Structure 1
Amino acid sequence: MSSSAYDWSTSRLGDPGAWPHALRLTADLLFNTPLPMLLVWGSEMTVLFNESYAALAGPAYGKLPGGNVPPVMPPPLAAAGEALQRAWQGESAIAAGRDLHFAGAGADAYDLYLTPVRASDGRVAGVMCALAAAQPTLADTQDAGGPLHILVVENNLDSQYLVCEMLRAFGHEADGVGHPDDALARLAANRYDVLFTDVSLPGMSGVDLARRAVADAPTMQVIFASGYGDTLLRHVEFPYLSLQKPYELDQLQQALDAAARQLAVRA
């Protein structure tokens, strides 16, 4: 089902033929996805949602598919808090374990996955929000599958040391290198669950390094750290998580939670 399957004549968005390409593409993705999803679009906060979200929210939420400014923020967007703000700033974000109560729900706790949607000029024009039943915490995952084996690539030796120490304090195994060539040698010689790399590295970007790593080990999870937000990550074609420097410990913890969950899914 695509955006053209609905009558948008009475909605704020009007004829889909006049929509920007990013909105048409994202709306089609939203309507064809079985996961409950919402899209908040533009400075006026126009909200679209799919049938899965409508079934979850119940009949009081309104008629499909949305396309109007709601009187109050939908519960997932209201609960996302700081993660929603980060998404508006161009960073993919996760709001884990949010308590939401829906008429048609079988669960009360949800993980919210927020993805910025960029217009043709590169600015963030909207935010996609996907809902999934909350997954086990990192501690639960560790009990089931043990610590993560993480390769940290950071050419600032002080930062490299600090990140490795934090990861070890979380109970993981962490190796640190400062140059992409050293990282490639480590990746060839060892199995890692997670590549945690700075985007800006000497000789090769962290994106190119991760691309080579994922080609050789498709289940490997990638976490990028960057002082430039997601500006340098717009055309990355594989799944990843990103942290904007300086990041908080809880943000690092959330990224590791997400990486552990993905590894468990692919196991």
Structure 2
Amino acid sequence: MPEYDPRSATEPRNAASYDWSGTSLGEPGRWPVPLRVAADLLLNTPLPGLLVWGRETVLVFNEAYAALAGVGCGRVPGGSVPSVLPPPLAGAAGALQGAWDGQPGVVADAHISFRHADGPLAHHCDLRLTPVPDGAGGIGGVHVLLAPPAPAPLLGEQEAPDAALRILVVEDNLDSQYLVCEMLKAFGHEADGVAHPDDALALLGKQRYHVLFSDVSLPGMSGVDLARRALADHPGLKVIFASGYGDSLLRHLEFPYLSLQKPYELDQLQDALAKVSQRPAQGR
């Protein structure tokens, strides 16, 4: 089975990298902001993926998906209404409807057949479906990622250091918050996003999180003070800060943390998550 090699796409991709003038979507400068953000994320993701936009089912797909789907795919990056649903959507009808209703879904252990010039190609994956808000209180589209299948845990096996994490993202820039949450979901983690520290504390009081990923500069309370309050009640929480001002506000903290300098790369975020997952929790 041919695999998409992310090293073959060394240049960053986004909606502006392509000519959309002949598609149903038109020029990216006129797109709704949620569509533009979701498309940029999809087109710059090394895993194969689709974006279904609007109830008329306009499709956008990335080059990894085009390489996998073969002759039935059409012109990269899409932007048209297909006469027949592509195989990943045809095999995920229930989860797709759930995503249109606002519920993320996973179709585990999916076996999908693509039509290639030299015959059918079987692809084994987990389909991860994420609703994309339309900015007006509804759902504008669905992001579909063809992720590597999650390995089945062995009986009695302990949680691996790189197992899925539940992450609370605190970022008052809503576009950045959405993008980070989608990246984390693409990595196989669970992510919730809030814009205000008070909302973060409320969520922390309702459910367990492994990681607090917070901007340092927040309205009403700094990310550092938020982390202090969160750790007082949840000492097992791991902390990652994101800052556009370097580490000047993070010196001499009394608790362990990692920090990322904005803007950061995907591999830096993945590396930080791997490090905190292996770090012993405070107070253990």
Q: Does 1:59 align with 2:74?
A: no
Correspondent of 2:38 among 19, 23, 26: 26
* Counterpart AA for 2:14: S
Match of 1:71 in 2: 83
Q: How does 1:227-266 map to 2 (within 5 A)?
A: none
| SS of equivalent to 1:101 | strand
Distance 2:204 2:103 in 1: 16
Distance 1:207 1:123 in 2: 26
Match of 1:217 in 2: 237
User: Are the aligned partners of 2:18 and 2:77 in contact in 1 as well (CA < 8 Å)?
Assistant: yes
Distance 1:119 1:43 in 2: 12
Match of 1:41 in 2: 53
* Counterpart AA for 1:214: V
* Counterpart AA for 2:211: V
User: Are the aligned partners of 2:113 and 2:121 in contact in 1 as well (CA < 8 Å)?
Assistant: no
Gapped regions of structure 2 (runs ≥ 5): 1-12, 161-189, 191-200, 213-235, 240-272, 279-284
TM-score, structure 2 normalization: 0.52
Number of paired residues? 166
Post-superposition offset of 1:42: 0.3
Q: Would you identify which runs of 4 or more consecutive aligned residues in structure 1 move more than 6 Å?
A: none
| SS of equivalent to 2:23 | coil
Distance 2:36 2:71 in 1: 26
Correspondent of 2:106 among 94, 105, 112: 94
1:12-39, Cα deviation, whole Å (9 max, x unpaired): 0001111000000000000100010100
Match of 2:268 in 1: none
Post-superposition offset of 1:80: 1.1
Distance 2:90 2:121 in 1: 20
Q: Does 1:124 align with 2:136?
A: no
Gapped regions of structure 1 (runs ≥ 5): 149-194, 196-203, 220-261
1:44/1:106 CA distance change after superposition, 3 Å: closer
What percentage of aligned pairs have identical amino acids?
43
Match of 1:134 in 2: 149
User: Are the aligned partners of 2:111 and 2:122 in contact in 1 as well (CA < 8 Å)?
Assistant: no
1:168-211, Cα deviation, whole Å (9 max, x unpaired): xxxxxxxxxxxxxxxxxxxxxxxxxxx9xxxxxxxx84554447
| SS of equivalent to 1:83 | helix
Q: Root-mean-square deviation (CA), in Å?
A: 3.0
Distance 1:41 1:208 in 2: 35
Match of 1:226 in 2: none
Post-superposition offset of 1:134: 2.1
| SS of equivalent to 1:145 | coil
User: Are the aligned partners of 2:88 and 2:112 in contact in 1 as well (CA < 8 Å)?
Assistant: yes
| SS of equivalent to 2:91 | helix
User: Are the aligned partners of 1:88 and 1:116 in contact in 2 as well (CA < 8 Å)?
Assistant: yes
Post-superposition offset of 1:217: 3.2
* Counterpart AA for 2:147: A
